[in-house]
Amino acid sequence: MAAWLDGIFAAKKKKSLPEQTTAPTPIPTPPPYVKLPTPQVRTVFMGTPHLAAALLETLITEKYNIVGVITQPDKPAGRKKELKASAVKELALKHSLPLEQPRKMDAEAIGKIRDWKPDLIVVAAYGKILSEEVLKIPGLGALNVHASLLPRWRGASPIQNSLLAGDQETGVTLMVMDKGMDTGDIITQKTIPIAPDDTQETLSTKITEAGQSLLVETLPLWVKRKIPATPQSEEGITLCQLIEREDGHILFTEDAESIYNRYRALYPWPGIFAFWKKGDGVQRMKFTKISYQKQSPQIPKKLGEVFELGEHIGIQTSTGVIFLEEIQPEGKTAMSISDFVRGNQDFIGSLLQ
């Protein structure tokens, strides 16, 4: 790393991700879908982000008997660090559903769940591990909607990890929760192809829609015990890398395709970025829209060098070139790369770190 970056932070070594494999154990699929009556079971829903709220909305629309909702406590957000409610909380309040936001799943929180007398618990991206004591409360079990084809990508951030790894498909799994992290028996799965231009944002939408249909189709069968659960395969197990803000820092020692996959995985949050030395200062440059080519130019450039290639502005990587289409300088709004270069001619020929 260039000396002028010393003291800012040490670039994190990117964790290697496993290649995509196919689990050999067949997972049962429901019979051809026939709309069944909504089972009138007492249901507790646990979740936090927008994906979870969309699933809760589906259960409400299907007239499930939601006797309680549990979500994470309000958290500071934005520059002013004002407390913000989760998407699930906002939806629960809109429909006047009983709501709890425990900071930890202690005896008091568990007691509240017992008071609701649930037959079934449905969990989606809640954000906390549930104890066996909680899992044993509902007679029909605690079911988790997980955003991957288990056993691939157990843990948090499966959508980002599938994109980071360059997977060509992912999916949604409905599973029976146990004391492990996403290790429970699988009820059913739905596969989703990943398009070359899918990002975390677009793939999340696809997975949410698949999860909604999976719940509508499968829960009535599960309640009537007409669909089994199958243990997960011991092959093809992969664990998610925890996503942090600094994972967006690009290392130009990576190839162009890997950097593009990082962009896809981390858009819109936390986004990818590099540092540009301008005068005596250093600017953090966020790349809000990029493309790439696998081939390097005929005349090799230095790693991280910004150069013009036809009508494009490219950056040299270890193999191939990433093309900047939209950029966001630190403290400013995003703009097209052509507008940025027009006012910053010295950006061409610079070395980004």
Secondary structure (DSSP) of 324-336: EEEEEETTS--EE
User: What residues does each domain of the chain span?
Assistant: 3-14+244-347, 42-223
Identify the DSSP state of 253: T
What pLDDT is attached to residue 26? 60
Q: Which of 320, 335, 298 is nearest to 253 (CA)?
A: 320
Pairing type for strands 142-146 and 169-176 reads: antiparallel
Cβ proximity of 174 and 124 under 8 Å: no
In 82-241, at which residue ranges do the beta strands (DSSP E only) sit? 82-84, 99-100, 120-124, 142-146, 169-176, 186-193
Query: Is 3-14+244-347's fold the same as 42-223's?
Result: no
What pLDDT is attached to residue 279? 83
Q: Which of 85, 90, 133, 140 is nearest to 112 (CA)?
A: 133
Distance CA 78, CA 232 (A): 40
Q: Which of 102, 124, 116, 134 is nearest to 47 (CA)?
A: 124
Identify the DSSP state of 153: T
Give the tens place of pLDDT for each residue, 236-269.
Answer: 999 999 999 999 999 999 999 999 999 999 999 9
What pLDDT is attached to residue 40? 87
Distance CA 258, CA 319 (A): 10
Between CA 58 and CA 47, with CA 38 as vertex, the angle to 5 degrees is 35
Cβ proximity of 141 and 147 under 8 Å: no
What pLDDT is attached to residue 39? 83
Q: Does domain 3-14+244-347 have CATH number 3.10.25.10?
A: yes
Give the tens place of pLDDT for each residue, 66-103.
Answer: 999 999 999 988 777 889 999 999 999 999 999 999 99
What pLDDT is attached to residue 37? 78
What pLDDT is attached to residue 27? 64
pTM (predicted TM-score): 0.88
Query: Could you give phi then psi for residue 188, rounded to 5 degrees?
Result: -160, 165
What pLDDT is attached to residue 24? 45
3-class SS at 274? strand
In 181-300, at which residue ranges do the beta strands (DSSP E only) sit? 186-193, 272-278, 281-293
Q: Which pair of tokens denotes residue 329?
A: 């300088």
Q: Which pair of tokens denotes residue 139?
A: 């007679």
Q: Which residues contact 50 (CB under 8 A, 6 or more apart)?
A: 87, 204, 208
- The per-residue pLDDT string of the chain (353 residues; one tens digit each, 9 = 90 and over) reads 444 444 433 334 445 555 554 444 566 555 566 677 788 899 999 999 999 999 999 999 999 999 999 999 999 887 778 899 999 999 999 999 999 999 999 999 999 999 999 999 999 999 888 999 999 999 999 999 999 999 999 999 999 999 999 999 999 999 999 999 999 999 999 999 999 999 999 999 999 999 999 999 999 999 999 999 999 999 999 999 999 999 999 999 999 999 999 999 999 999 999 999 988 899 999 999 999 999 999 888 999 999 999 999 999 999 999 999 999 999 999 999 999 999 999 999 999 99
Class of 42-223 in CATH: alpha beta
How many alpha carbons fall within 13 Å on the CB side of residue 143? 28
**12-19 long-range contacts, CB within 8 A, separation 24+:** 12/246, 12/247, 12/249, 14/247, 14/251, 14/254, 15/241, 17/161, 17/164, 17/165, 17/238, 17/241, 18/165, 18/238, 19/165
